[in-house]
Amino acid sequence: MKYILLCLLALSTILHSSESEQLFEPTPFAHIAIQENGRIKPLDTFARNTLLAVHRKRSAKDGNGQKSSAIQWLTELMTKPEVAFERPIFHVRNPRTVEAIGLTSAKNHLYTLRAIREGFQEHQMLIAALFEKGQEALTTDEKQIVELYNIASFVVALSESLTCVLPRYTFSIEENAQAFEVDTNTPFSFLVLLRHLDQLNPRIRAASKKTPNDLSDADKDMLTLWQTIQQDLAPASKRTNMGGLTVIPSDDPATDNTIWMTPWEAVIHTITVGDKPHVTKHLDAWEQCIATIIAEDSTALTTQSAAVLDLQTTADAKNMSLEVGYNSAEWFYKSLTFYILAAIALVVAMAVWPKALYYSALACVVIALGCQTWGLILRMIIMGRPPVSTLYESILFVGWCGAGGFLILEYFLKNGLGLLLGALLGTIMIFVSLGYAAEGDTLGMLSAVLDSNFWLATHVVTITIGYGMAFIAGLLGHVYLIKRIIQKTQTKDIIHLGKIMYASAIIALFFTLFGTILGGIWGDQSWGRFWGWDPKENGALWIVMWLLMLMHARIGGQMKENGMAAGLVVCCAIVSLAWFGVNLLSVGLHSYGFTDSIFANLMGYVGAELVFAGVALLWARAVNKPTTISD
């Protein structure tokens, strides 16, 4: 058995590392903090989310098929944009979008930024017309074109974020080089010119007043430099509007250190407002840090990245390292791998090596649950709140509750059923969560009303546990009906399963009812009313009323085990509608984190559950004669 377990563990490592073994370890540069969407996060997180929006993945390949991490792609984009622009990394799957901007169709749906940029430049009238129509009037294809344009524009702006600290200027005349304390024909950054503004401005003005015939070689050299500077300074305001690398915190007491600037904003601030020591220190630190990246000096990069991070006084260096570690470990992917392995082991155990594979599956489920638990704990530490405040988090938490509940159930059953159902529920929930993880930063800030008080935390945790218990009861209902169809008589294991199913339904009712009451208390504190018939509130009440109806019918004798099991199967559909479905309405005070992309999948799942409940109930009644309608 131990050899089988070791093989399973080795296989899981291979499955997980096959996608990431060629990735480089996150560099010290990845730990530097950036402020985005109201949250201070490491550059590693920013790079992963940006690459995900562009490439649909958090790692990329170059033209030679060599993999690189998101932070490597980001550093290449900012330090070697001419190389990054030629990397086929933009994932555009809609052929109508490709055709609209004149791209040549690619089999892998990947395109270079250079090609996309040129396509949009050739179709400027199309983009202008789409923006004039407004978001509400756009078709699905038109929305995708606008989205691609916005993403491409953001990446272009991002590629220019650090040009002020890149060595991209040169003097070919020794007279000019000596005046600015640089070497002839040796690249230097804009910061060198910034330190010599008192010399730069008079020289430019003097050279610009001369006629072409009167220009000396030094004047021509200076004017050539000035043209390059204008190219960098002209779109500075556009960079600010499009976003960028906001990595320099403001030390102005009036802002309470909440406003961060891009390096170019810091440069313009220095030019227009005057030199400030803290801004100068940040720019100098960034210049040295980028120089070590260009020189590929990993030892110096560690020192210089730490120097930049030390200046970011509003950022918690410990949290930056913790989040980078969380990103790199990918605990939920590890958990998914072990859940799948457990399910495979249990299925195979039905035919061969039942005892050995049973313990192997048990070990896999325990490891999967441990990985998932640690991932949730890290999220709580990083965000400082319960891990159930967004749809993505609640899906993971429900999966964790369900898998944990089935593991406890297995302690009593010891027949593999709890392990199999726990592995299946854990796998399904993590797979569903991946769709929401693909939307961007899963550690994003919440709106103020969702990050407010104690009652919200207790409400969401309690009712989410109720969701998990409802799914446990529902899955047991599935199994009960299947067993009743296969087995013609009431065996002890079926009777025992019915009791467990009933107990799980009672626990689900307790947590959903208690969580709904706590939600009313939160609503009273946040909005001044305990209940307002909001769609989300109605969904929670729907679950409670359905479970109460099942309990009442079962206790009153109007419904027996078969009907109870079918009702709990339907309960899974009701929970899904209350959990996800009301989000499609996009109305009510709870309208946060809503999406309409799940409609088809949700309706398909609900329909399948209703069909299964009806067919399985009729089938179970037909094969278990004599029976009554109350079954």
Q: Reply yes or no on whether the pLDDT at 578 is more than 80.
A: yes
- The string of pLDDT tens digits covering residues 226-236 is 888 877 776 55
Q: Reply yes or no on whether the pLDDT at 338 is more than 90.
A: yes
Q: Reply yes or no on whether the pLDDT at 403 is more than 60.
A: yes
Is 342:303 a contact under the CB 8 Å cutoff? no
Torsion sign (Cα): 92, 96, 97, 98: positive
The mean per-residue pLDDT over the stretch 587-597 comes to 46
Q: What's the rounded Cα separation, in Å, for the pair 420 and 588?
A: 38
Q: What predicted TM-score, i.e. pTM, was given to this entire model?
A: 0.80
Among 176-190, 308-322, 503-517, the minimum mean pLDDT is found in: 308-322
Q: What are phi and psi of 379, to 5 degrees?
A: -60, -40
Res. 422 pLDDT band, cuts 50 70 90: very high
Q: Of the ranges 60-69, 366-375, 534-543, which is most confident? A: 366-375
* DSSP tag of 42: E
H runs (alpha helix) in 243-390: 263-273, 277-294, 298-311, 317-329, 331-349, 354-383
The mean per-residue pLDDT over the stretch 41-58 comes to 89
- C-alpha triplet 121, 125, 129: angle, nearest 5°: 130
Q: Of the ranges 122-136, 185-199, 327-341, which is most confident? A: 327-341
User: According to the model, what pLDDT value does residue 627 have?
Assistant: 42
Q: What's the rounded Cα separation, in Å, for the pair 37 and 260?
A: 11
User: According to the model, what pLDDT value does residue 446 have?
Assistant: 56
Q: Which of 8, 13, 112 is nearest to 55 (CA)?
A: 112
User: According to the model, what pLDDT value does residue 435 have?
Assistant: 77
Res. 13 pLDDT band, cuts 50 70 90: very low
Share of the chain above pLDDT 70, in %: 83
Q: Quick one: how far is CA 12 from the chain centroid?
A: 23
Q: Reply yes or no on whether the pLDDT at 628 is more than 50.
A: no
- Residue 580: helix, strand or coil by DSSP? coil
Rg (CA), the chain: 30
Torsion sign (Cα): 77, 83, 85, 87: negative
- The string of pLDDT tens digits covering residues 110-153 is 999 999 999 999 988 888 888 888 777 888 888 899 999 999 99
User: According to the model, what pLDDT value does residue 455 have?
Assistant: 62
User: According to the model, what pLDDT value does residue 475 have?
Assistant: 93
Q: What's the rounded Cα separation, in Å, for the pair 324 and 32?
A: 10
Q: What's the rounded Cα separation, in Å, for the pair 588 and 118?
A: 43
Q: What's the rounded Cα separation, in Å, for the pair 406 and 424?
A: 10
User: According to the model, what pLDDT value does residue 629 have?
Assistant: 39
Is 518:462 a contact under the CB 8 Å cutoff? yes
The mean per-residue pLDDT over the stretch 438-454 comes to 61
- C-alpha triplet 191, 195, 199: angle, nearest 5°: 120
Q: Quick one: how far is CA 482 from the chain centroid?
A: 37
Cβ count near 445 (within 10 Å)? 15
User: According to the model, what pLDDT value does residue 212 have?
Assistant: 85
Q: What are phi and psi of 357, to 5 degrees?
A: -70, -25
Give the helix/strand (H/E) hosting 127. helix 124-133
HEC assignment per residue over 263-280: HHHHHHHHHHHCCCHHHH
Q: Reply yes or no on whether the pLDDT at 453 is more than 90.
A: no
The rounded mean pLDDT for the chain is 81
Is 379:420 a contact under the CB 8 Å cutoff? no
User: According to the model, what pLDDT value does residue 155 have?
Assistant: 92
Q: Reply yes or no on whether the pLDDT at 22 is more than 90.
A: no
Q: Buried (b) or exposed (e) across 112-141, using 16+ Cβ within 10 A? A: bbebbbebbeebeebbeebeeeeeeebeee
Q: What's the rounded Cα separation, in Å, for the pair 294 and 528?
A: 57
Among 221-225, 403-407, 601-605, the minimum mean pLDDT is found in: 601-605
Q: Break the chain into its structural domains and give their ranges.
A: 33-160, 165-316, 326-445, 466-631
Among 49-53, 78-82, 87-91, 437-441, the minimum mean pLDDT is found in: 437-441
Q: Report, in this order, helix, strand and coil percent for the chain, each rounded to 5.
A: 70, 5, 25
- The string of pLDDT tens digits covering residues 296-306 is 888 888 888 88
Length of the chain equals: 631
